[in-house]
Amino acid sequence: MDAETAGQKLIAQHEQIRKHLAECGALARRLRDGEPIAVALEAALSHLRSAFDDHNTLETRLIRPLLEGSSDWGGLLVDRMIEEHIAEHAAFWLLLGGSLDEIAARIDDLIDELDAHMAAEERTFLSPLVLRGDVIQRHRTQPHR
């Protein structure tokens, strides 16, 4: 898959994750308000977890080969991606730990953290200024000055 297509696919997944986050947030607020919607929230959280896991798997599979081999910035970006993913996973699973009521109480923090992380990815290694075949090739073939 070429760089532009990979970036578009991953950003589309970000949008899906954001939709899942919004749904989970709305359901969590309703649960906190006393509505009996625990089953619906559990299902929404399951969809969020699945989308998040699918995205991280695909992102690692697609981005690493595109950015490896750059004498300038590929290694740094790949290292940053891995570092961010480790922190992202830890924050994600920490916020999803505990009872459904505890998760519902923290869902706003989860939404903020994941959205901020995805926005950072979109500004860095998913940026159209970075994920362009010509840019990637130029950085692979020209030594850092």
- What gap in Å lies between CA 56 and CA 58, rounded to an integer? 6
pLDDT of 44: 97
Quick: pLDDT tens for 76-130. Answer: 767 777 777 777 777 787 887 788 999 999 999 999 988 998 998 888 777 777 6
- What gap in Å lies between CA 144 and CA 26, rounded to an integer? 48
Quick: pLDDT tens for 1-56. Answer: 777 888 889 999 999 999 999 999 999 999 999 999 999 999 999 999 999 889 88
pLDDT of 38: 97
Q: Quote the domain boundaries for residue 129.
A: 3-141
Quick: pLDDT tens for 52-84. Answer: 889 888 887 887 676 665 555 556 767 777 777
Query: CA dist 26 to 105, 108, 112, Å?
Result: 12, 10, 14
pLDDT of 133: 57
pLDDT of 45: 95
pLDDT of 25: 97
Q: b vs e for 113-138, b when ≥16 Cβ sit within 10 Å of the residue's Cβ? A: bbeebbeebeeebbeeebbeeebbee
For residue 145, name the pLDDT band (cuts at 50, 70, 90): very low
3-state SS string for 4-29: HHHHHHHHHHHHHHHHHHHHHHHHHH
Query: Structural domain tally of the chain?
Result: 1
